[in-house]
């Protein structure tokens, strides 16, 4: 790998000139090129999401991990690792590490996997495939060390360097407006509808009472047809600012389809051989005042049903991470994680991985956790597949980034898929003994609060809003 990092901070409008000067110099030398080139320029501070919106590239990614102090906006593709057949996670990770290790040690690949290995590339998720990871052609990166504009090039030759220069000319230095209003609602469809939801909850409760499972996490999809195409980046801007405990993300594989969200659930974070993970489950809304908020938190942390639901997640992580780590530590104390409009039960874990453990091994071991699948772990997947009336796609699946010496994967919840004029919302509820269909439906509504706020139905369920508009009920 050849890496060039300049020292002087460059204005956004001068990026093209500086990079082109270097590329012309590289072309003039006409030498044997390295396998990868990474050019990093310190740049002035800008709003990365606004910069991302202003770009005309079809492929875009955004990752804002506030806990890790990392924000990235990427456009184009220097390399793409994708496919429709996901036999195992390790083979995908090995393909990524071909360049993000010794050949380009700082080249992060961003992307994710489908929730089910065997149901990829179908329906509205076709453009995402079973897995899709991209090394952006250009990145704007903000971390603890400052802000960089990064240019990535794999297998450089004269033609690819010339094409890179052409791609560079497409970059806009204009600041886009992130205050676009969401179009009006034309129609709303629930998958499943309210009555069908009661039926499948009762069916799941019967399976639990029969001793087949201890927990089943069932998901709901809401398809919202809008009067015109929504702006995913304006929606994401609202999600990004709403909470400091989440990872905001955007994956856009093409111009018509975008997957966005703000997830509170970390699957794992790896730094060398050190790993962190979190057990997150159980839900209450936030209160309207401090006293009500504290009452709701106390109710959550003393609720036997919620504690049991969370216990399955904790037990699963202890067992599955324990196989990978000779020592796994947790204080064992259940606390309440308070988000902007919702609160969850929370227990952190940390450990040291065995020397031969890869990111593929970690993903294979802990996805899906009982927070999004059920318990006992993978044995519940066939029942989920049979009961749910839609393809989860990347919803509740591992999303994130990886390089040789570090990785972060989150669980893609609190998310929405945008396809042309359609906004598709996803949410799930953990069903255990004692669950109530009506309370779980209400929990689903709480989990999409931020999207309802953007839609202008704050304080109402979409079902109620649907009735106010005179739309047919589903």
Q: Is the peptide bond before 192 cis (omega within 30 degrees of 0)?
A: yes
The dihedral over CA atoms of 207, 209, 213, 215, expressed in degrees to the nearest 10, equals: 100
d(CA 222, CA 474): 10
Instruction: Give tens-digit pLDDT for 84-106.
Output: 989 899 999 999 988 776 667 78
Domains of the chain: 2-169 (3.60.120.10), 185-468 (3.60.120.10)
The percent of residues above 90 in pLDDT, for the chain, comes to 64
Instruction: Give tens-digit pLDDT for 105-145.
Output: 788 999 999 999 876 666 899 999 999 999 999 999 999 88
Q: Are strands 131-135 and 138-143 parallel, antiparallel or unpaired?
A: unpaired
pLDDT band at 174 (very low <50, low <70, confident <90, very high): confident
Phi-psi region of 282 (alpha: psi -120 to 50; beta: other; left: phi over 0): left
pLDDT of residue 474: 45
Instruction: Give tens-digit pLDDT for 204-259.
Output: 999 999 998 999 999 999 999 999 999 999 999 998 887 778 999 999 999 999 99
pLDDT of residue 321: 94
This prediction has a pTM of 0.94
Q: Are strands 2-5 and 36-42 parallel, antiparallel or unpaired?
A: parallel
Instruction: Give tens-digit pLDDT for 307-352.
Output: 999 999 999 999 999 999 998 998 778 999 998 888 999 999 999 9
| Nearby residues of 147 by Cβ (< 8 Å), 6 or more positions away | 42, 43, 44, 45, 46, 140, 141
Assess contact for 191 and 390: CB atoms under 8 A: yes
Identify which of 411, 409, 387, 388 has the alpha carbon closest to the alpha carbon of residue 400: 409
Instruction: Give tens-digit pLDDT for 18-47.
Output: 888 887 777 776 666 677 888 889 999 999
Identify which of 80, 91, 82, 86 has the alpha carbon closest to the alpha carbon of residue 120: 86
């Amino acid at each position: 790998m050849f890496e060039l990092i300049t020292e002087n901070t460059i204005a956004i409008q001068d990026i093209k000139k500086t990079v082109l000067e270097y590329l012309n110099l590289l072309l003039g030398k006409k030498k044997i090129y390295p396998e990868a080139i990474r050019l990093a320029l310190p740049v002035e501070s800008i709003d990365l999401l606004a910069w991302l919106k202003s770009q005309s590239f079809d492929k875009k990614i955004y990752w804002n991990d506030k806990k890790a102090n990392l924000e990235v906006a990427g456009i184009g593709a220097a390399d793409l690792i994708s496919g429709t057949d996901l036999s195992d996670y390790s083979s995908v990770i090995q393909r990524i590490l071909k360049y993000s290790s010794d050949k380009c040690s700082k080249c992060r690949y961003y992307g994710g996997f489908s929730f089910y290995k065997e149901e990829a590339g179908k329906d509205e998720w076709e453009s995402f495939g079973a897995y899709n990871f991209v090394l952006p052609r250009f990145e704007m990166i903000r971390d603890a060390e400052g802000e960089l504009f990064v240019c990535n090039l794999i297998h450089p030759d004269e033609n690819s360097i010339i094409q890179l220069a052409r791609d560079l000319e497409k970059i806009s230095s204009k600041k886009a407006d992130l205050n676009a209003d969401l179009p009006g609602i034309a129609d709303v469809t629930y998958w499943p509808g309210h009555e069908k939801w009661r039926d499948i909850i009762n069916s799941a409760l019967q399976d639990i009472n029969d001793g087949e499972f201890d927990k089943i996490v069932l998901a709901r999809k809401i398809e919202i047809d809008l009067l015109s195409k929504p702006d995913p980046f304006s929606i994401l801007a609202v999600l990004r600012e709403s909470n400091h405990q989440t990872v905001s993300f955007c994956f856009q594989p093409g111009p018509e389809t975008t997957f966005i969200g703000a997830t509170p659930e970390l699957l794992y974070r790896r730094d060398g051989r050190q790993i962190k993970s979190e057990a997150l489950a159980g839900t209450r809304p936030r209160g309207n005042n401090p006293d009500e908020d504290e009452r709701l938190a106390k109710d959550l942390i003393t609720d036997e049903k919620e504690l049991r639901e969370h216990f399955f997640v904790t037990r699963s992580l202890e067992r599955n991470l324990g196989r990978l780590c000779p020592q796994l530590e947790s204080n064992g104390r259940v606390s309440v994680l308070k988000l902007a409009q919702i609160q969850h039960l929370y227990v952190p874990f940390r450990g040291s991985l065995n020397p031969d453990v890869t990111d593929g091994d970690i993903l294979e071991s802990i996805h899906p956790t009982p927070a999004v699948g059920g318990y006992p772990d993978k044995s519940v997947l066939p029942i989920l597949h049979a009961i749910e009336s839609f393809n989860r796609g990347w919803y509740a699946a591992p999303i994130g980034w990886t390089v040789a010496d570090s990785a972060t994967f989150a669980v893609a919840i609190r998310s929405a898929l945008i396809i042309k004029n359609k906004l598709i919302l996803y949410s799930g509820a953990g069903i255990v003994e004692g669950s109530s269909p009506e309370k779980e439906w209400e929990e689903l509504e709480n989990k999409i609060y931020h999207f309802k706020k953007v839609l202008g139905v704050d304080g109402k369920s979409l079902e109620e809003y649907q009735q106010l508009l005179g739309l047919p009920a589903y």
